[in-house]
Chain A
Amino acid sequence: MSDKVKVTIDGITVEVDNGTTILNAARQIGGDIVPPAMCYYSKLEGSGGKCRTCIVKVTKGSEKDPRPMPKLVASCRTTVMDGMEVLNITSPEVLEARAGVVEILLINHPLDCPVCDQAGECDLQNLGYEHGLQKTRYEFERRTFDRIDIGDKIQLHMNRCILCYRCVFTADQITNKRVHGILNRGDHSEISTYIQQAVDNDFSGNVIDVCPVGALTDRTFRFKNRVWFTKPVDAHRNCDHEKCNGKVTLWYKGEDVLRVTARKDQFGEVESFICNTCRFDKKATSDWVIEHPTHIDDTSVIASNHYETLKPLHVIQPNEALQAANEIELHKTVKY
């Protein structure tokens, strides 16, 4: 048996390694058919499967067993089989279920984007923009928590949290001591530290980068500026921490470096985790070697004044149904 398996997503066939998840297979194709992922993070083992935004429909299980899967599956945790056929944006069922998940994620979210530091680079904001409804049907009081400062650099704003568990996995796997986790159960569960203990270790700042919403924010950047007014620049320095390669993105406003983050790829995931010294303490241009301006996606609000056009991938051009679906996806991202 060969190590490569064939999987067809929305009519596009791609050959991937055995054991790849549907989500990663879709990422190899790229474009609009990549399901959105709020909790899955390729660098964190065991993440995914929780937010359910990446659900897709499997219409054919595999070459050997062509039965479709009875339910929509989480593409981030379902591995591909040879001959599997998957529908994502061409299936109305998937789009409806995804819109349902987005609505459900937003019912207890405070929607305080105007005062949230994450606005402009928030996965939930993008998701809500693309799939959410204009109005909410939720008419009850939203759950609220007090803000907690975990350590002097990070602030936890639990109201905004969507409980993706990414920061828990980060604390588990990247830092050398697990400092926080989930307390309580159900919709009153919260991310917290044990008896308000401060988070204090070299890599703890990465929880800010992995957080898809504004629940964990950088206190050194708090209320300094909106992200779309800042200019991101890739830079590096010789970091003496053995696990940190010092490759970062600096966010400038005029002469000042307002904040430092790890470099993120097109799916919003960091390329490599950085240490707290680089993130919080080195905020002068003289600390860094500037490389080039960071590439910002056209769809991002940070790249203002750019408008997306329909540029279908060449593989989907013969497929009219898929092209129509792509156009609908595009219209969702258009900013008026």
Chain B
Amino acid sequence: MSRKLLLEHINVPGINTLEVYRQKGGYRAVEKALKTLTPEEIVEEVKKSGLRGRGGAGFPTGMKWSFLAKPEGVARYLVCNADESEPGTFKDRYLMTYIPHALIEGMIVSSFALGAKVSYIYVRGEMMPQIRILEKAIAEAKAAGWLGKNILGTGYDLELYVQPGGGAYICGEETALLESLEGKRGNPRIKPPFPAIAGLYGCPTVVNNVESIAAVVPIINDGGDEYAKIGIGRSTGTKLISASGNLVKPGVYEIELGLPVEEFIYSDEYCGGIANGKRLKATVAGGSSVPVLPANLTLKLANGEPRLMSYESLSEGGFATGTMMGSGGFIAFDEDQCIVRNTWNFSRFYHHESCGQCSPCREGTGWMEKVLHKIEHGHGTMSDVDLLWDIQRKIEGNTICPLGDAAAWPVASAIRHFRDEFEWHIKEPVKSQQQNYGIANYAVPIEKAVEVKSEN
């Protein structure tokens, strides 16, 4: 049984209340941080822990905090990004639903570390129950003196607000989130300036994912060094993975980074294998925006070594043979799933969610969706596949925010790895409407690379 840091007490009845959460050692981190540590020491601990942002990009959290500008007389803000809307990712919702106090505790410690007097939790609009849960938890914490004026008699004041969003995927992008929080249309800002210099209301701001903030609690409790011992290489600590798709036991799992992907999919402790005794065809390892991989490349690296659930191992091989950790939305496809249909579905999502600010993403996502729709429904031509490849190349890297890239990568990787399936849809327009392409050779094990001895 691997170590659990965030979900240790998830099965304790009433853990969503302050009382039970306290009994299980909750708010120890706040006491420790506010009474014994200086803000700089907390930032140092987080840096030592090697915690990487859990929202998708994997940027080291401690580093992000140390970049925060600290001009005199200007307010600083901490904003928690709970606009979780990546298809396949539902870990933050789970965390907020069942242990809201973990997030609130993390918010207090992090706000103290950053010197923020007012902090916001920006929650996606569809998550109304979670907003109520958080508001109730904040009221509880406030009544018990963990929030408000002069917390624990240390003279530190903190107000915590929950802000419901309008339910736009783009508002998960940090600058769009800040625009939306300010009450404007949620369009991403052009960077620089980065939020660490001019963020919310023009003040220095840090935007962190729910899980990153919650992970600060065990870091402060046990110390950054202790946290860094978990995991592998530069991927330290534990990560919540939202497993979905054709798995025996889909759900949210806390894993130690470095767990082999094969073990994650097939062991009974985690997903328990592919449902209905079928075989794995492909996976999306980190939420819909990361490249899709066929089964053989999911389980093994290109050189035959096992692939691990860590930031480095998942992205091993670049986009040619690798993918990304992303936000940890692990989607498994069995042999009866159609990759073309899935790619169309993803691009339909990005088409719908593009903010429409910059042209490649606004027009390109719609174009890709239409071409994919055409191929999926048996009207495609061979040149459409090349056209798709060309469109995604024109979008990727040419947009203001990463949504353009996120829309392009699934399409690019689907064509790269599953081109024969696309071509089958085109060559067999009637058949493709009635049956599936099947697993083909996507699960053929990768041979162990033969070592070539150098001659000199």
| Contacts from A to B (Cβ < 8 Å) | 48-52, 55, 71-72, 74, 77, 97, 100-101, 103-105, 107-108, 137-138, 140, 162-163, 165, 181-182, 184-189
Contacts and interface: CB of A to CB of B under 8 A. Distances in A.
A104 B394 contact: yes
A187 B365 contact: yes
A35 B358 CA distance: 17
Contacts of A72: 397-398
B190 A97 contact: no
Contact of B360 (A101, A138, A165): A101
Interface string B341-385: 000000000011111111110111111001000000000000000
Contacts of B397: 71-72
Contacts of A50: 357-359, 400
B14 to A, nearest CB: 41
Given A71-B397, A100-B394, A187-B362, A107 B367 contact: yes
A52 B360 contact: yes
Contact of B358 (A51, A108, A188): A51
Contact of A104 (B185, B190, B355, B360): B360
Contacts of A189: 355-356, 362
Given A186-B351, A186-B362, A100 B398 contact: yes
Interface in B379-407: 387, 390, 393-394, 397-400
B367 A185 contact: no
Given A49-B190, A55-B398, A107-B367, A185 B356 contact: yes
B363 A105 contact: yes
Interface string B301-313: 0000000000000
B363 A187 contact: yes
A140 B374 CA distance: 10
A107 B363 contact: yes
A186 B356 contact: yes
A187 B394 contact: no
A297 B179 CA distance: 41
9 contacts: A71-B397, A71-B398, A72-B397, A74-B190, A101-B360, A103-B394, A107-B363, A186-B355, A187-B362
A74 B355 CA distance: 18
Interface of B: 168, 170, 185, 190, 351-360, 362-367, 370, 387, 390, 393-394, 397-400
A162 B168 contact: no
Contacts of A163: 356-357, 359, 362
Contacts of A48: 190
B47 to A, nearest CB: 23
B432 to A, nearest CB: 20
Contacts of B354: 185-187
A97 B170 CA distance: 24
Top 6 closest pairs, chain A to chain B, by CB: A100-B394, A189-B356, A186-B354, A49-B190, A187-B366, A71-B397
Contact of A185 (B168, B363, B370): B168
A97 B398 contact: yes
A132 B262 CA distance: 48
B365 A140 contact: no
B456 to A, nearest CB: 33
Contacts of B362: 163, 186-187, 189
Nearest to A50: B358
Contacts of A100: 360, 390, 393-394, 398
Contacts of B367: 104, 107, 138, 140
A162 B356 CA distance: 10
Nearest to B393: A100
Q: Which of B168, B353, B356, B365 has the most CB of A within 10 A?
A: B356
Contacts of A184: 356
A165 B393 CA distance: 25
A165 B170 CA distance: 18
A187 B347 CA distance: 13
Contacts of B387: 137
A73 B400 CA distance: 9
A72 B387 CA distance: 22
A108 B351 CA distance: 14
Best-buried of B168, B357, B370 by chain A (most CB within 10 Å): B357
Contacts of A181: 185
Nearest to B353: A186
A100 B367 CA distance: 13
Nearest to B355: A185
A187 B360 contact: no
A52 B367 CA distance: 17
Nearest to B373: A140
Nearest to B362: A187
Contacts of A107: 363, 367
A52 B353 contact: no
A185 to B, nearest CB: 6
Nearest to A184: B356
A109 B358 CA distance: 15
A186 B185 CA distance: 12
A184 B352 CA distance: 10
Nearest to A104: B363
Nearest to A100: B394
Contacts of B185: 181-182
Given A105-B363, A107-B367, A187-B363, A49 B358 contact: yes
A108 B363 contact: yes
A137 B370 CA distance: 12
Contacts of B355: 185-186, 189
Contacts of A186: 351-356, 362, 365-366
B347 to A, nearest CB: 12
Contacts of A105: 359, 363
Nearest to A137: B387
Q: Which of A48, A97, A185 has the most CB of B within 10 A?
A: A185
B168 A101 contact: no
Nearest to A103: B394
A105 B362 CA distance: 9
A105 B353 CA distance: 19
Given A74-B190, A77-B190, A52 B356 contact: no
B356 A182 contact: yes
A162 B362 CA distance: 10
A51 B353 CA distance: 18
Max chain A Cβ within 10 angstroms of own Cβ: one of B356, B363, B370, B400:
B363
Nearest to B398: A52
B367 to A, nearest CB: 6
Contacts of A108: 363, 366
Contacts of B168: 185
A184 B351 CA distance: 13
Nearest to B400: A49
A49 B398 CA distance: 10
